[in-house]
Amino acid sequence: MLVTERRERILALTRDRGTASIVELAATLQVSEMTVRRDIDQLAEEGAVERIRGGVRARGHQRLAVAPAASAERRAIVAAAASIVEPGMAVGISGGPTALALARELVRVPELTVVTNALPVSDLFSPPDRADAPYTQTVVLTGGVRTPSQALVGPVAVRALEHLHCDLVFLDAHGLDEQAGITTMNLLEAETNRALMAAGREVVVLAEHSRWGVVGLTTVADLSDIDRLITDDGLDEAAREQLAAHVGTLHVASRDGGDERALATALAD
Mean pLDDT of the 201-216 span = 95
Q: Which of 109-113, 134-138, 246-250 has the lowest mean pLDDT?
A: 134-138
| Same domain, yes or no: 83 and 54 | no
Residue 113 lies inside a defined structural domain of this protein: yes
Residue 131 lies inside a defined structural domain of this protein: yes
DSSP H helical ranges for the chain: 3-17, 22-29, 33-45, 72-82, 97-106, 119-124, 155-161, 187-198, 237-244, 260-263
Residue 89 lies inside a defined structural domain of this protein: yes
| Same domain, yes or no: 116 and 240 | yes
Considering the chain, what percentage of its residues have pLDDT values greater than 70? 85
Residue 66 lies inside a defined structural domain of this protein: no
Give the Cβ contact number of residue 131 at 10 Å: 7
Checking if the pLDDT of 132 tops 80, the result is: no
Mean pLDDT of the 196-200 span = 97
**93 exposed, middle or buried (CB, 10 Å; 0-12, 13-18, 19+)?**
buried
Q: How many angstroms separate the CA atoms of 16 and 176, rounded?
A: 30
Give the confidence band of 171 by pLDDT, cuts at 50, 70, 90.
very high
Give the confidence band of 83 by pLDDT, cuts at 50, 70, 90.
very high
Give the confidence band of 255 by pLDDT, cuts at 50, 70, 90.
confident
Residue 87 sits in which domain range? 72-267
Question: What is the model's pTM?
Answer: 0.71
